[in-house]
Each structure stands twice: as structure tokens, then as C-alpha cells.
């Protein structure tokens, strides 16, 4: 069986057995096609250490299409890893099917720098949440969006997929996230109040919770907001609130996670609330919430100052 056929079956496996999204399938198809095109291999047995070594070198030197100071930047290490992860996952699938090829553990990922977090202060967050202050439908919608994002830590795609039949009298909400996994998130009093005010003003018959509106607060029957539209709404209110940093729905998700950890929540609980498959993804927040290191630093400097007296 040739690699193109195996790739098709692998993508079908991801879709049916693993519940991967259409976007993930599209990306993996592109990553694997790039490898096949570069390497020229057509059979699993032809994938070996030398082929992968040449591919990694090519990826590392490949122009990204982004110009910086007059030169074309190369692919970032993180982007290179996307290609390698797809290949490694495909090789694991071959093993599952009893097909001999390069062992997936032979492919090491490129070392990347620690991921930095874009955060806003508590005071900036309050200004952002208070920005929509009107009683018209658009202001009420925007207020509900911001309150719900911070109350639940939802991904913007999850927020946009919500239905109008949400029960604002209970404190919890079930959402379907990545990999079609369902998790429970919780509504604050502020989020429930904002949602009630917004839905009370809705007179259309659309099923979507958050909808597109014209300047006259007019809408179609079911004009669902897109993730890009929500990003623009968040940016509009960040600007109105006088926040100079770039603020996105994901920044609010970061604020949700760090707020929980700073107030004593354990990492496993935050992982569940965010819908992370792996604890390592959640651990990016620990370095901004580790007050123990600050106390050690203060104690050390205090002791040294006393010894020097």
C-alpha cells in the first residue's frame, strides 16, 4: 500500500476514531503532503533517519514568507515542530496497522524557547469588562461576551458555537471543545446577569447565542458571530478601555487561568476547566503564579542585608 493511500486512511482514522476537527485534518494533510513532496518517498519502508534528517534541515532553512528588515524570515521552531509532530503521529499510526517504517521515537522535536503569556492586569481587566455600558442590544451582547469569556475561560470557537437555549438560572454550562470532548464550565453572577439582560432584549428567532448586529441592532434569523468577529469586539472594547496592549479572547482565557491559580486553585482543576488534554499545556501558567519563588528571593536578600550590617 503506497503512502498516499495510507495518508488518506490515517486522516479518516483521525476524523472517525479520534474526533479531530476539519481544520486539524486539513493541517495534517498539508504537513504530510509537504514531507512526501520533499522526500520523494512512496513506500513506508523508504522513510529512514537520513530522509528525516534532510527534511529537518530543509524545514529549518525554509523561508516563512514573512519579511523582517529586508530579508525573508525562516520558519519558527514551533512551526517546524508542527510538521514533525504530524509525521511522528503518522508513523505511530503505521505501527498500529502493523506496517514497518521508521520508529516514531526517532524523530525529536526542535527545542523551543519557553512560551510567553500575554497578560493584562486586574485593573485593566476590570476596565475591559466595564467597557460595554449601554442598554442597547449590541452593548448588552458585548457585555455578555466579555463576562462569559472571563467567567468560563472558553476558547473563542467554543463561545461562538453556543446555542441560545442556555439556562441562565444555573451556575454551570456544558461545552463541546477540541476533539469533540465535553466539559463543564461555570458561570459567575456577573456572567449570568449579563446573559439575562442580553437575552431579554433579543426578539429574533435565531438559535445562536451570539449574533451579528448592524448599527441599528438589526439581525437576520440566525447570523452567528464568527471567532474573528468576537476578536474585533474584544479589541474594540480594549481600545475604549484605554488598554494599549493587544487584547484577544485568548488573553482573557489566560486571565481566567492565572486568576484561578493566584487564588489557590490546583493545576489539575485548571486543566479540566480549560479543556487541556495534557497537564504540560496548563503548566505554562505556573511561572506567573509561583509566589513561593518571590518569598525565597525576599528572604535571601533580607538575610544578606542583615549580615552586611
Among this protein's residues, is 55 annotated catalytic? no
Q: Strands (DSSP E) along 130-284, which ranges?
A: 172-176, 182-186
Among this protein's residues, is 285 annotated catalytic? yes
Q: Strands (DSSP E) along 101-213, which ranges?
A: 172-176, 182-186
Among this protein's residues, is 250 annotated catalytic? yes
Reported for 239-245, long-range contacts at CB under 8 A and 24+ positions apart, including other chains, are: 240/131, 241/124, 241/127, 241/128, 241/130, 241/131, 242/127, 243/120, 243/124, 243/127, 243/128, 245/118, 245/120, 245/124
Could you say which of 20, 141, 237, 253 is catalytic? 253
Would you report the helix, strand and coil content of the chain in percent, each value rounded to 5? 60, 10, 35
Q: What is 230-262 written as a DSSP string?
A: HHHHHHHHHHHTT--S---HHHHHHHHHHHHHH
Rg of the chain's alpha carbons, rounded to an integer? 24
Give the angle subtended at the CA of 95 by the CAs of 278 and 15, to the nearest 5°. 55
Could you say which of 155, 192, 237, 254 is catalytic? 155
Among this protein's residues, is 302 annotated catalytic? no
Among this protein's residues, is 276 annotated catalytic? yes
Among this protein's residues, is 178 annotated catalytic? yes
Could you say which of 76, 178, 224, 240 is catalytic? 178
What are the catalytic residues?
Answer: 155, 178, 250, 253, 276, 285
Amino acid at each position: 500500500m503506497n503512502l498516499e493511500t495510507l495518508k488518506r486512511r490515517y486522516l479518516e482514522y483521525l476524523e472517525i476514531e479520534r474526533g479531530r476537527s476539519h481544520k486539524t485534518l486539513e493541517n495534517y494533510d498539508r504537513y504530510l503532503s509537504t514531507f512526501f513532496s520533499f522526500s520523494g518517498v512512496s513506500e513506508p519502508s523508504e522513510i529512514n533517519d537520513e530522509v528525516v534528517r534532510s527534511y529537518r534541515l530543509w524545514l529549518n532553512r525554509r523561508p516563512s514568507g514573512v519579511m523582517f528588515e529586508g530579508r525573508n524570515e525562516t520558519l519558527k521552531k514551533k512551526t517546524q515542530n508542527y510538521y514533525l509532530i504530524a509525521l511522528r503521529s503518522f508513523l505511530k499510526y503505521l505501527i498500529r496497522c502493523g506496517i514497518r517504517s521508521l520508529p516514531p521515537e526517532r524523530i525529536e522535536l526542535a527545542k523551543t524557547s519557553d512560551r510567553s503569556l500575554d497578560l493584562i492586569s486586574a485593573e485593566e481587566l476590570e476596565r475591559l469588562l466595564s467597557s460595554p455600558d449601554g442598554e442597547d442590544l449590541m452593548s448588552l451582547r458585548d457585555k455578555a461576551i466579555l463576562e462569559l469569556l472571563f467567567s468560563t475561560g472558553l476558547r473563542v470557537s467554543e463561545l461562538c458555537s453556543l446555542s441560545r437555549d442556555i439556562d441562565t438560572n444555573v451556575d454551570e454550562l456544558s461545552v463541546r471543545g477540541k476533539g469533540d470532548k465535553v466539559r463543564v464550565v461555570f458561570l459567575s453572577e456577573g456572567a449570568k446577569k449579563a446573559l439575562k439582560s442580553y437575552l431579554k432584549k433579543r426578539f429574533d428567532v435565531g438559535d445562536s447565542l451570539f449574533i451579528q448586529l448592524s448599527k441599528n441592532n438589526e439581525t437576520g434569523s440566525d447570523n452567528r458571530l464568527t471567532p474573528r468577529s468576537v476578536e474585533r469586539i474584544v479589541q474594540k472594547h480594549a481600545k475604549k478601555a484605554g488598554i494599549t496592549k493587544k487584547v484577544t479572547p485568548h488573553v482573557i482565557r489566560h486571565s481566567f487561568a492565572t486568576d484561578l491559580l493566584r487564588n489557590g486553585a490546583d493545576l489539575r482543576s485548571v486543566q479540566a476547566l480549560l479543556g487541556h488534554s495534557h497537564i504540560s499545556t496548563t503548566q505554562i501558567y505556573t511561572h506567573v503564579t509561583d509566589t513561593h519563588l518571590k518569598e525565597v528571593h525576599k528572604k535571601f536578600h533580607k538575610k544578606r542585608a542583615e549580615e552586611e550590617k
